[in-house]
């Protein structure tokens, strides 16, 4: 028993001595594992922070300086800045444009009435906002601020803030896509592409303001697409115009612009463009619908009267060629109004905004223009990205081309216009403009103008 006791005592003593060493070893291993886990967590956090930083930098770059990321190009007929939404894969798109001018009347200034005093104007500041929800659905809009303020001043009446267009697009197939909302009517050049770097002259062509009443938008829905490689089309049904706004200067006052519109009468508008060559676009468009809107107007003599049906048809043909610095375009348009004589008589007897005795509405209006420009800087500085184009535009239009029976034409509405000027882009999408505009009428005088302006798109 003595030996066994001695052996057991020795074994217990050795175990007692070994236990702290084992515990110390296990604790060291646990500490090492915890340190490795902590390092892994720190590394993962560092990777997450770097990923978020990279994504934030990419998002900031894409939204703040998109012109460095992508070239502004026109899509589906819209202006380049308005087309940015079509290049976005998902989410928000922001763009816009702005323009201002100074006009100096230099000849035929007349008696110094407010219409012929020199003017400067911050004409427009525009924001495009769009949102692409997925590959098929996007929303597209334009908010326009005109004339700097909505307040009246001692110099002029107030400007306005308007929704220029707001549309919901659904893309299905290249040849068949759908659009609804407040739609820009696809007529002429300027009604869709009216950003200042992309047309010549401080002022938009008169023909595309008077006869094609840009900017013209109405509520409606329709389809658009491409047929093959060379043909694009657009077809909408929209609310008709309001004939109560027509006058001797055209149909511009009949636009309803999406504001609680009369929709008793619906109109159709369609456009077709063919590009047989990359440099050449040929096309045309037509608008047709009734503008009477089944409305009754109060008469100055008492009582009221219903406006007649006013079948309104407007069509235009256009061509555009651009290659090797040369840019040429031409457009011709014509408007036909039914019951113009009766409409004139009813509006002349109206209690509010009556037409004067000589302010008759024509049965037909027509006009057109041609334009040439050439970029001369590559001749002087080969390889330059700057753009300097002298240009010339000739316009002829008459809003009283054919008068209804019993009414004579007003010669002051038959106008010729010559505009010669310079279009300079120090960088893409920024333009400085200068031009001289000389206009004559068959009857009366129109002041000559020197115009200076600037414009940007982004």
Task: Please write the tens of the pLDDT for every residue from 12-68.
Answer: 454 444 445 554 555 666 666 666 767 777 777 777 777 766 665 555 545 544 445
267 contacts 243 by C-beta, under 8 angstroms: no
Tell me the per-residue pLDDT of 385-395, one tens digit each, with 9 for 90 and over: 899 999 999 99
**From first to last of its 458 residues, what are the pLDDT tens digits of the chain?**
454 445 445 444 544 444 455 545 556 666 666 667 677 777 777 777 777 666 655 555 455 444 454 568 889 989 999 999 999 999 999 999 999 999 999 876 554 455 689 999 999 999 999 999 999 999 999 999 999 999 999 999 999 999 999 999 999 999 999 999 999 999 999 999 999 999 999 999 999 999 999 899 999 999 999 999 999 999 999 999 999 999 999 999 999 999 999 999 999 999 999 999 999 999 999 999 999 999 999 998 888 999 999 999 999 999 999 999 999 999 999 999 999 999 999 999 998 877 877 789 999 999 999 999 999 999 999 989 899 999 999 999 999 999 999 999 999 999 999 999 999 999 999 999 999 999 999 999 999 999 999 999 99
Which pLDDT score, from 0 to 100, does residue 47 have?
Answer: 78
| Domains of the chain: total | 1
393 contacts 416 by C-beta, under 8 angstroms: no
415 contacts 65 by C-beta, under 8 angstroms: no
Q: How far apart are the first and last CA of the chain?
A: 103
Which pLDDT score, from 0 to 100, does residue 7 have?
Answer: 45
Q: Is residue 63 part of a domain?
A: no
- List CB contacts of 275: < 8 A, sequence separation 6 or more: 230, 231, 281, 282
Q: Is residue 62 part of a domain?
A: no
Q: Is residue 29 part of a domain?
A: no
Structure tokens at 414: 């038959």
The pairs formed by 226-231 with CB atoms below 8 angstroms and a separation of 24 or more are 226/174, 226/175, 227/175, 230/274, 230/275, 230/276, 231/272, 231/273, 231/274, 231/275
Q: Is residue 249 part of a domain?
A: yes
- List CB contacts of 222: < 8 A, sequence separation 6 or more: 178, 179, 180, 183, 234, 235, 236, 237, 238
Q: Is residue 407 part of a domain?
A: yes
Give me the CATH number covering residue 401.
Answer: 2.40.160.10
CB atoms within 10 A of CB 122: 15
Q: Is residue 59 part of a domain?
A: no
Q: What is the 3-state secondary structure (H, E, C) of the chain?
A: CHHHHHHHHHHHHHHHHHHHHHHHHHHHHHHHHHHHHHHHHHHHHHHHHHHHHHHHHHHHHHHHCHHHCCCCCCCCCCCCCCCHHHHCCCEEEEEEEEEEEEEEEEECCCCCCHHHCCEEEEEEEEEEEEEECCCCEEEEEEEEEECCCCCCCCCCCCCEEEEEEEEEEEEEECCEEEEEEEEECCCCCCCCCCCHHHCCCCCCCCHHHHCCCCCCEEEEEEEEEEECCCEEEEEEEEECCCHHHCECCECHHHCCCCCCCCCCCEEEEEEEEEEEECCEEEEEEEEEEECCCCCEEEECCCCEEECCCCEEEEEEEEEEEEECCEEEEEEEEEEEECCHHHHHHHHHCECCCCCCCCCCCCCEEEEEEEEEEECCHHHHCCCCCCEEEEEEEEEEEEEEEECCCCCCCCHHHEEEEEEEEEEEEEECCEEEEEEEEEEEECCCCCCEEEEEEEEEEC
Q: Output the CA–CA distances (angstroms, integers) from residue 159 to 71, 124, 353, in the order listed.
A: 32, 10, 21
Q: Is residue 146 part of a domain?
A: yes
Domain hosting 439: range is 79-457
Which pLDDT score, from 0 to 100, does residue 15 have?
Answer: 46
Q: Is residue 264 part of a domain?
A: yes
Quick one: which of 389, 327, 377, 363 has its CA closest to 189? Answer: 327
Structure tokens at 3: 């030996």
> Can you tell me the distance from the alpha carbon of 82 to that of 65, in angstroms, rounded to the nearest whole number?
16
Which pLDDT score, from 0 to 100, does residue 442 have?
Answer: 94
């Amino acid at each position: 028993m003595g030996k066994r006791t001695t052996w057991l005592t020795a074994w217990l003593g050795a175990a007692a001595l070994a236990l702290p060493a084992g515990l110390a070893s296990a604790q060291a291993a646990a500490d090492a594992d915890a340190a490795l886990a902590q390092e892994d967590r720190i590394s993962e956090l560092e990777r997450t922070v770097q990923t978020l930083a990279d994504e934030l930098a990419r998002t900031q770059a894409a939204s703040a300086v998109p012109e460095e990321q992508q070239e502004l190009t026109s899509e589906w007929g819209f202006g380049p800045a308005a087309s940015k939404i079509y290049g976005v894969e998902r989410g928000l798109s922001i763009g816009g444009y702005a323009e201002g001018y100074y006009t100096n009347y230099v000849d035929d200034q007349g008696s110094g009435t407010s219409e012929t005093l020199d003017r400067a104007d911050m004409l427009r500041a525009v924001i495009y906002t769009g949102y692409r929800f997925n590959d098929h659905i996007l929303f597209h809009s334009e908010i326009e601020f005109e004339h700097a303020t909505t307040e009246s001043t001692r110099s002029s009446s107030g400007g306005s803030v308007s929704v220029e267009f707001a549309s919901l697009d659904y893309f299905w197939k290249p040849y068949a896509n759908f659009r609804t909302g407040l739609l820009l009517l696809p007529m002429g050049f300027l009604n869709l592409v009216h950003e200042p770097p992309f047309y010549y002259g401080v002022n938009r062509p008169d023909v595309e303001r008077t006869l094609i009443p840009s900017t013209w938008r109405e509520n409606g829905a329709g389809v658009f697409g491409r047929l093959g490689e060379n043909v694009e089309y657009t077809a909408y049904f929209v609310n008709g115009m309001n004939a109560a706004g027509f006058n001797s200067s055209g149909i511009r006052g009949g636009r309803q612009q999406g504001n609680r519109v009369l929709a008793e009468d619906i109109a159709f508008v369609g456009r077709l463009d063919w590009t047989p060559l990359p440099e050449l676009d040929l096309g045309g468009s037509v608008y047709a619908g009734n503008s009477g809107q089944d409305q009754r107007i109060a008469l100055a003599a008492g009582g009221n009267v219903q406006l007649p049906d006013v079948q309104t048809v407007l069509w235009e043909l256009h061509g555009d060629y651009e290659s090797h610095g040369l840019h040429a375009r031409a457009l011709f348009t014509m408007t036909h109004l039914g019951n113009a004589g009766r409409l004139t008589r009813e509006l002349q007897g109206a209690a509010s905004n009556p037409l004067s005795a000589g302010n008759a509405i024509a049965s037909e209006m027509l006009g057109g223009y041609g334009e040439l420009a050439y970029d001369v800087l590559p001749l002087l500085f080969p390889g330059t990205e700057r753009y300097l184009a002298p240009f010339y535009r000739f316009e002829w239009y008459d809003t009283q081309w054919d008068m209804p029976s019993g009414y004579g034409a007003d010669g002051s509405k038959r106008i010729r216009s010559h505009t010669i000027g310079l279009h300079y882009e120090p960088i893409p999408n920024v333009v400085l403009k200068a031009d001289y505009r000389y206009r004559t009428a068959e009857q009366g005088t129109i002041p000559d103008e020197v115009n200076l302006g600037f414009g940007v798109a982004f």
